[in-house]
Amino acid sequence: MQVIDWDLAVATGVRLVRPGPQVSREEARQAVSELRRLSREAEVHVKEFTGIDSAPPEEATVVDRPGWIRANVEGFKVVLEPLSEKVGNMPAIVSAVGSRITGVEVGAVLAFLASRVLGQYELFLPPDPDGNAPTGRLTLVAPNIVNTERELRVDPRDFRLWVCLHEETHRVQFTGVPWLREYLQAQMKEFLTISDMDLSTLLDRMRDVTDAVADAFRGGEGNLIEAIQTPEQKAVLDRVTAVMTLVEGHGDYVMDAVGPSVVPSVAEIRAKFQQRRAGGSRVDQVIRRLLGVDLKMKQYAEGSSFVTTVVEEAGMDGFNRVWTSPETLPTRQEISDPQAWMRRVLATNALEPDHKSA
C-alpha cells in the first residue's frame, strides 16, 4: 500500500505550478547550454578551493518546473519506502483515503517550491536498469534561474555561475565524502521507522498541524515539520538538521569565497539575493514558515558562519576534518558554537587531518 498517491502528487503539482518566464526558443536553448557548461566550470573551482577530492565533473541536469516536480517525487519514493510496511498494517480505507489526501498535499507543496528552487543535488534516486543505486544528480531549474536574474537585474552569466558554485559544492561534498550520503539515508530511515502510524496518533498529529497553521498566521514560529514529529524523532531530526546546516552553509561560504575571482559582480548579486530572500507577500511568508523554508534560510546563515569561523581559525585543512567520520560532524549546538566543535575535534590527535581518510 502506498503512503502517498504519487501519480496524483505529480498531476496536482504539474497542474498547480505557475508557468515560467517568457523566453524565446533560442533564449531557452542558450540558457540550458550555458548552465551545463558553467556547472562543469564551477566544480573545478570548488574542488581547487575546498581541497576535497571528488568524482570527475559532470554536466548538470537542467529541467523546467514540471521536470523538477517529477524528479522530486521519484526521490520521495526512495526516501519514504520504509513507511510502506507500516501503512500496510493500517485499515485499507484509512490508507487509501490518506494516500490520496497526502498526494494532493505533496503536489501542492511541490508546486509552490517548484517556482522558487534554483537547483539541488538529488541524493536519493531510484535504481538504474541494472539495479544499482546512483550516487546522486545535480539538477538546475532553468526557468527559475532566468526569472531570478531578471528580477534582480544582475549579469546573467555571473548569476548562473554563482548558483552553480553553490550547487556544485554539494556534489563535491557527497561524491568526495563517500559515507555522508549513507549517513543521511540512515538517519532518514530511522526517523521514518520510529514514527507512530496508528489512527489515534495520526489524529493527534492533525490537531498539532492545525495549531501550527494558526500559529504561523499569527506570526509565530510554528511549522509543519515540528508539528508532526515525535520526541524520539526530534533527536534524529536534530542530527539531520545539523548536517544539512553544515552542507548548506558550506555551499554558501564557497560560492561567496570563490566568487570574487570568477564572478566579478558577486557582491552585488549577494546583496540583492539576500534582500529577495527576506521579501515576499504576507501569504508567501506564512507558507514559507509552515514548510520550513525560513528554517532553511536560517541554516544558510548559521552554517556559513560556522564554516567561516573554523576556516579563519584553523584553515581549510582544519575545517576539512569535519568530513572524517559521522563522529566529527558538528552537533546542532556546535553549529552555533564553532569553538566547542574545534575543542572537541581539532584537539583530538587520534584523528587523521585529511578528510579522505573516511
Query: Is-contact 171 136, C-beta < 8 A?
Result: yes
List the one residue out of 239, 244, 247 whose CA is nearest residue 332: 239
Give the model's pLDDT for residue 230.
66
Q: What is the pLDDT along the chain (358 residues), one digit of tens a residue?
A: 566 788 999 999 999 999 999 999 999 999 999 999 999 999 999 999 999 988 887 889 999 999 999 999 998 888 776 665 555 554 454 455 567 888 888 888 899 889 989 999 998 888 777 777 677 899 999 999 999 999 999 999 999 999 999 999 999 999 999 899 889 888 888 877 765 544 445 445 444 443 433 343 334 444 445 545 567 777 888 888 899 899 999 999 999 999 889 999 999 999 999 887 665 554 454 444 444 545 556 777 899 999 999 999 999 999 999 999 999 999 999 999 999 999 999 986 544 444 443 4
Query: Is-contact 195 83, C-beta < 8 A?
Result: yes
Strands 61-63 and 137-141: parallel
Give the model's pLDDT for residue 202.
46
Strands 61-63 and 119-122: unpaired
Query: Is-contact 110 69, C-beta < 8 A?
Result: yes
What 3-state DSSP class applies to 44? helix
Count Cα atoms within 13 angstroms, Cβ side, for 229.
16
- Is this model's pTM higher than 0.85 or not? no
DSSP string, 214-259: HHHHTT----HHHHT--HHHHHHHHHHHHHHHHHHHHHHHHHHHHH
Give the model's pLDDT for residue 103.
84
Dihedral angle, C-alpha 270, 216, 296, 162, nearest 10 °: -30
